């Protein structure tokens, strides 16, 4: 088994690293890594329905879609992530969370903390979640990717704010994240340690339970290929937002020109239907504005650009393009 200390904290690079290792290596792998502030959404989720766009924009939080299913999670440097990538050979592939979370429970026991696997994919301390897990089976090479979070000293208030979404905005069939009571591992330690010391203990435990461990450091060839995948896929709006399933969106705002409400139907990130309601005064037929946004990306900068090009302020009395775009998110 290759064991990797991935020292990158760049969210796009780290998600790309997992896919690269899954598809371009034949070795069993264990990797530890951290992300700077980011929201990582499940493969099948509607991204906009999982994030608080105001908080994300204000705090410059990166949003990245991962390969695995499950719910959205918040990462910061107080959170440690672990990844197993294993070959399953001729065995029947199965989603087996307990197999890959058992070592984490073992680490906790060595630290004097009693942890337990619970529900579909969580590990708990005293009924509170500190680890969420997800898996992806890559049938072409008979490999499975399992990864999980380890909240060690995460800013839980930031987590709550970034993932707090108004449920009335969206109507879709995507899997919604279930919010759980969360806790930091550091809060349960008898003797304080740093996240780096905790990282070393996790790695030492893994090295101790596997007999064929070989340390591995990304080569320049690896880094170049991973960065290319990050640039072409994991940093792109089309993967992180446009990949979302069909959804309906609605939001109302108050403006100097009156109340305004936007209703959208969106498919593959593109606006298919749009209707704008409200008690505002229209200087021209607003259907011209609505028509101009059909087949456009449900993306703030794209919508704002098209509204300015029209310009929509010629249609809505005392409502600017910037104010209008606020009703779209």
Mind listing the pLDDT tens digit for each residue in 54-79?
Answer: 899 999 999 999 999 988 999 999 99
CB-CB contact of 108 with 202 (8 Å): no
What local confidence, expressed as pLDDT, does residue 211 receive? 87
| 112-121, 220-229, 311-320: which is most confident | 220-229
Look up tokens 């009335």; give the residue: 168
Handedness of CA 4, 42, 169, 295 (dihedral sign): positive
Residue/partner pairs of 274-278 with CB below 8 Å, 24 or more apart: 276/327, 278/252
E strands along the chain, which residues? 2-5, 29-33, 38-41, 62-65, 73-75, 79-87, 115-118, 122-125, 128-138, 143-151, 170-172, 214-215, 247-255, 258-267, 270-278
pLDDT at residue 160 tops 90: no
Cα distance between residue 89 and residue 68, in whole Å: 20
Cα-based distances in Å from 298 to 261, 270, 309, 322, 326: 16, 6, 16, 15, 12
Cis peptide before 115 (omega within 30 of 0): no
Q: From its phi and psi, is residue 192 left (phi > 0), alpha (psi between -120 and 50) or beta?
A: beta
Handedness of CA 11, 12, 14, 15 (dihedral sign): positive
CB-CB contact of 265 with 246 (8 Å): yes
Structural domain boundaries in the chain: 2-240, 247-328
CB-CB contact of 163 with 39 (8 Å): yes
Cα-based distances in Å from 107 to 64, 99, 173, 253: 28, 14, 38, 49
Domain 247-328 class in CATH: alpha beta
Cα distance between residue 280 and residue 257, in whole Å: 6
The predicted-structure confidence for 81-121, as pLDDT tens digits, reads as follows: 999 999 998 877 777 899 999 999 999 999 999 999 998 89
2-240 classified as CATH 3.10.129.10? no
Max alpha carbon distance in the chain (Å)?
A: 75
Q: How confident is the model at residue 13 (pLDDT cuts 50, 70, 90)?
A: very high
The predicted-structure confidence for 127-137, as pLDDT tens digits, reads as follows: 999 999 999 99
């Amino acid at each position: 088994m290759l064991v990797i200390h991935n020292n990158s904290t760049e969210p796009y690079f780290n998600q790309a690293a997992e896919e690269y290792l899954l598809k371009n290596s034949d070795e069993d792998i264990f990797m530890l890594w951290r992300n700077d502030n980011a929201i990582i959404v499940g493969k099948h989720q509607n991204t906009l329905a999982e994030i608080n766009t105001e908080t994300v924009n204000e705090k410059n939080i990166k949003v990245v879609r991962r390969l695995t299913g499950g719910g959205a999670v918040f990462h910061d440097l107080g959170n440690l992530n672990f990844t197993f990538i294993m070959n399953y050979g001729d065995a029947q592939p199965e989603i087996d969370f307990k197999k890959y979370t058992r070592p984490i429970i073992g680490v906790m026991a060595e630290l004097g903390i009693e942890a337990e696997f619970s529900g579909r994919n969580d590990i708990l301390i005293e009924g509170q979640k500190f680890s969420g897990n997800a898996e992806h089976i890559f049938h072409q090479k008979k490999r499975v990717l399992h990864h999980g979070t380890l909240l060690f000293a995460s800013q839980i208030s930031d987590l709550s704010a970034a993932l707090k979404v108004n449920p009335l905005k969206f109507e879709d069939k995507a899997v919604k994240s279930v919010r759980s009571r969360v806790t930091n591992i550091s809060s349960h330690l008898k003797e304080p340690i740093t996240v780096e010391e905790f990282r070393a203990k996790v790695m030492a435990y893994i090295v101790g339970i596997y007999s064929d461990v070989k340390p591995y450091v990304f080569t320049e060839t690896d880094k170049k290929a991973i960065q290319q995948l990050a640039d072409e896929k994991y940093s792109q709006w089309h993967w992180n937002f446009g990949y979302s399933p069909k959804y309906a969106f609605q939001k109302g705002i108050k403006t100097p020109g009156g109340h305004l409400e936007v209703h959208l139907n969106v498919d593959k990130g593109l606006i298919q239907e749009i209707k704008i309601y409200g008690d505002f005064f229209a200087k021209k037929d607003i259907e011209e504005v609505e028509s101009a946004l059909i087949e456009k990306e449900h993306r703030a900068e794209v919508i704002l650009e098209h509204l300015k090009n029209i310009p929509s302020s010629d249609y809505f009395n005392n409502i600017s393009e910037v104010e209008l775009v606020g009703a779209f998110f």
